[in-house]
């Protein structure tokens, strides 16, 4: 008998859709995360929120700030789990230098747009971002609505 292939699930743990709405995303980087065991277990259960997450570069190291990983069971742990602790990002020196140069420019920041599994390792997708103004957000919404309307018209005419 042939073995059944396991059902493919999405590797994405969490996405930051608010960042795509509020910023123009330019350059993407992939970074590893330094995590505790309880955090990995919580990530497997999907108990994470990265809406207000950003990257801070200090002393040649990159840190992820604002990520909220909810502990699964706080009653049975032998230490106090801090859900919003600062987590270190694993990047090489060249990538950290690029991020440092980009974030020192006026109006630029570095945000986390997604957390996902790559094999058995948790990776963070971080992007260099420039803030959108209100009229840019409206323009994006108009363009999205127009594309939906075009697809409806094309579907009915075909």
pLDDT in tens, 108-128: 899 999 999 998 899 999 999
> How far apart, in whole angstroms, are the C-alpha atoms of residue 61 and residue 95?
10
Residue 98, CA atoms < 13 Å, CB-side half-sphere = 13
On average, the pLDDT of the chain sits at 86
> Would the pLDDT of 49 be above 70?
yes
Q: Please tell me which residue, 74 or 61, carries the higher pLDDT value.
A: 61
pLDDT at 6 over 60: no
Could you give the percent of the chain with pLDDT greater than 90? 40
CATH class of 12-133: mainly beta
38-61: average pLDDT = 90
CB 19 within 8 A of CB 81: no
Q: Which residues make beta-bridge pairs with 24?
A: 130
Mean pLDDT on 95-118: 91
Global pTM reads 0.75
pLDDT at 151 over 70: yes
- Partners of 58 in beta bridges: 61
135 or 38: which leads in pLDDT: 38
Residue 74 scores a pLDDT above 60? no
């Amino acid at each position: 008998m042939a073995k059944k292939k396991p059902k493919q699930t999405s590797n994405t743990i969490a996405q930051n859709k608010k960042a795509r709405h509020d910023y123009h995303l330019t350059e993407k980087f992939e970074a590893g995360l330094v995590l505790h065991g309880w955090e990995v277990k919580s990530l497997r259960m999907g108990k994470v929120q990265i809406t207000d997450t950003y990257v801070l570069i200090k002393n040649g190291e990159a840190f992820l700030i604002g990520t909220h990983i909810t502990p699964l069971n706080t009653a049975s742990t032998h230490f106090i789990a801090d859900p919003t602790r600062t987590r270190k990002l694993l990047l090489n020196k060249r990538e950290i230098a690029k991020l440092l140069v980009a974030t020192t420019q006026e109006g630029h920041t570095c945000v986390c747009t997604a957390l996902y599994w790559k094999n058995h390792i948790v990776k963070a997708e971080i992007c260099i971002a420039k803030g959108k103004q209100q009229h840019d957000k409206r323009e994006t919404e108009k363009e999205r609505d127009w594309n939906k309307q075009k697809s409806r018209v094309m579907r009915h005419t075909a």
